[in-house]
Amino acid sequence: MNRSIATNAVKNYNNQNYKVEIPCPQCSAPVILEETDRILTCRYCRTRVALIPKDYFRYCILPRDPKSEQIFYVPYWRLRGLYFYNRNLHIENRMFDTSVLASPVPRMTYSLGVRCQTLTLKSVDPEMEGLFFQPKISKQKVIHKIENMVNLSKKIQNNLDAVSEEVPSILSPWAIFKKRDISMNIFKVDITDFPSNSRNGKRSTKNAPQDISTIKKEENITSNLKEFIGETISMIYFPVYLKNKLLYDGVLKNPISSHPVTENDMRPLIQDEIHWTLDSIPLNCPECGWELPGERDSIFFYCPYCSIGWLLYKDQFRMCSVGIVDTEKEISIYMPFWKMVVEAEGLIEKRYTDQMKRNFRIQLDGTKQEATATTFWAPAFKLAPDAFINTARNVSVQDPKLRYMENISKYPLFPVTLPASEALESVRIVIALLAESKENVFHLLPNLRIRPKQAMVVYLPFKIRGIELIQQDMQLSFFHSAIRDSTRITDILK
């Protein structure tokens, strides 16, 4: 059995989700959810609905005293996901979980840090008192900043021995990060917060990057191939107010900075019109009206009476094909995968490779551009990066045959929690891993145009053995701990 996937899994992928308070759309009672939840179930009126944001979820931290001062709400992007990139013809990956300032508000901190883990967030209501700042920094720009910080953290990790003895004092404000964890967490802090003079302990934002200038430069670093698979993307608003020309923290009621800030500095950032809505739709089958079963963070639902799969897409349920892979071996649980038929334009068919079998063909000399339709697979649930991309690669190569069943609800099914749009981001990385001549292929991948043609949910059988989930027919496995919220496997099997 191929154990490479299992040995690459992380120790624990069950990171803590933020707690969010959302009013019941039926009776307005407060309901506490996790930030990843898409299903709201009210314990008072028994309402059960799917939450539908206009674009992404918006939450806020309430100020301690909202009526004492004019409150301004500062936006922060909340991003959690998997990041894959090319480094010297090798695909490397990172997990990140961060919040990043989305508007150039003077003197504001770059990140919210751990505050959102200790406070309950609330769903933003357009009728809330206070003024909201308009996000000026796009999600793509934030991801680009994170990419730069990932590259910086990699240099720090690879060159800790080359850095001066002042490194511990430089990192002292974040001493909770162990050296081996620097590459995973360094991007959670703003590099401008590094002290410019670590001997006297003073902190300054002047020339901050020079504090790490002793790090050796790495040569031949190619990072043109980059993909981000977002697990959680939302906007969090933090309360501040002005007092005596200083910007104050609306929660702690302490000055954020000693530098003066005027209302004229803030006014241009205020959003004039707010059209945010958090809609909901009942969890009833559009075909027969029966209540659809599903987990709290499910985006795919299967009606046991119609035998139809429904995908929660934007503001409606959309019919989605569903299949299952048959096996004669012992089964513990079925895990969901996206089977995606895509057109890859930019690489030309020339020959089959043994490694890819009959799944994908790559042109290596390349003069003419034409589209190639092929099939890729990716997990439809949240996995640690190593396990995710290795599983996507192995299943894409073997391309298992499907068996369509009238009713699959009687089987133990793990919920679909990752959208097909995010799973699609793995296609270029899978091609990179399968390419025989990486030197001739890698530079073509960033310009490869991926056009989705079809996507369906397919359940693959897995056997639970000890701390591993094993797909016996394809000889692949991964640890329980590589699954986000792996504790629910026990609940499914009860």
Q: Tell whether 112 is covered by a domain.
A: yes
- The token pair at 266 is 């803030």
Mean pLDDT for all residues in the chain: 78
Q: Which of 126-135, 239-248, 481-490 has the lowest mean pLDDT?
A: 481-490
pLDDT computed for residue 151 by the predictor: 67
| Average pLDDT for 248-264 | 88
Task: Report the number of distinct structural domains present in the chain.
Answer: 2
Containing structural domain, residue 76: 55-160+215-269
pLDDT computed for residue 391 by the predictor: 95
Q: Tell whether 419 is covered by a domain.
A: yes
Residue 246 sits in the same domain as residue 386: no
pLDDT computed for residue 277 by the predictor: 82
pLDDT in tens, 286-338: 999 999 999 999 999 999 998 899 999 888 999 999 999 888 888 889 999 99
**pLDDT over 60 at 220, yes or no:** no
Q: How confident is the model at residue 423 (pLDDT cuts 50, 70, 90)?
A: very high
Q: Tell whether 25 is covered by a domain.
A: no
Rounded to an integer, what distance in angstroms lies between the CA atom of residue 392 and that of residue 276? 36
Residue 249 sits in the same domain as residue 379: no
**pLDDT over 80 at 148, yes or no:** no
Q: Tell whether 199 is covered by a domain.
A: no
Boundary-marking domain end, from 236, 269, 302: 269
pLDDT computed for residue 404 by the predictor: 67
pLDDT computed for residue 166 by the predictor: 42
Q: Tell whether 9 is covered by a domain.
A: no
pLDDT computed for residue 1 by the predictor: 39
Rounded to an integer, what distance in angstroms lies between the CA atom of residue 310 and that of residue 306? 11
pLDDT computed for residue 43 by the predictor: 93
pLDDT computed for residue 38 by the predictor: 94
Count of alpha carbons within 13 angstroms of residue 175, beta-carbon side: 4
**pLDDT over 80 at 365, yes or no:** no
**pLDDT over 70 at 14, yes or no:** no
pLDDT computed for residue 403 by the predictor: 75
Residue 263 sits in the same domain as residue 288: no
Q: Tell whether 471 is covered by a domain.
A: yes
pLDDT in tens, 187-207: 333 323 323 333 333 333 333
Residue 450 sits in the same domain as residue 344: yes
* Torsion (CA) 94, 99, 103, 107 in degrees, nearest 10: -110
pLDDT computed for residue 310 by the predictor: 96
pLDDT computed for residue 226 by the predictor: 86
Residue 263 sits in the same domain as residue 364: no
**pLDDT over 60 at 3, yes or no:** no
Q: Which of 15-29, 266-280, 341-355, 446-460 has the lowest mean pLDDT?
A: 341-355
Counting Cβ atoms within 10 Å, is residue 144 exposed (0-12), middle (13-18) or buried (19+)?
middle
Residue 265 sits in the same domain as residue 345: no
pLDDT computed for residue 13 by the predictor: 57
**pLDDT over 60 at 218, yes or no:** no
Q: Tell whether 48 is covered by a domain.
A: no
Residue 119 sits in the same domain as residue 259: yes
Residue 77 sits in the same domain as residue 113: yes
Residue 153, C-beta contacts closer than 8 angstroms, at least 6 positions apart = 182, 183, 184, 185, 186, 187
**For 278, phi and psi rounded to 5 degrees?**
-120, 95
Rounded to an integer, what distance in angstroms lies between the CA atom of residue 186 and that of residue 180? 11
Rounded to an integer, what distance in angstroms lies between the CA atom of residue 482 and that of residue 185? 18
Rounded to an integer, what distance in angstroms lies between the CA atom of residue 379 and that of residue 459? 10
**pLDDT over 70 at 372, yes or no:** no
Rounded to an integer, what distance in angstroms lies between the CA atom of residue 12 and that of residue 384? 9
pLDDT in tens, 73-101: 999 999 999 999 888 888 988 888 889 99
Residue 373 sits in the same domain as residue 435: yes
pLDDT computed for residue 486 by the predictor: 76
pLDDT computed for residue 449 by the predictor: 84
**pLDDT over 70 at 221, yes or no:** no
* Percent of the chain whose pLDDT exceeds 70: 75
Residue 243 sits in the same domain as residue 343: no
Q: Tell whether 94 is covered by a domain.
A: yes
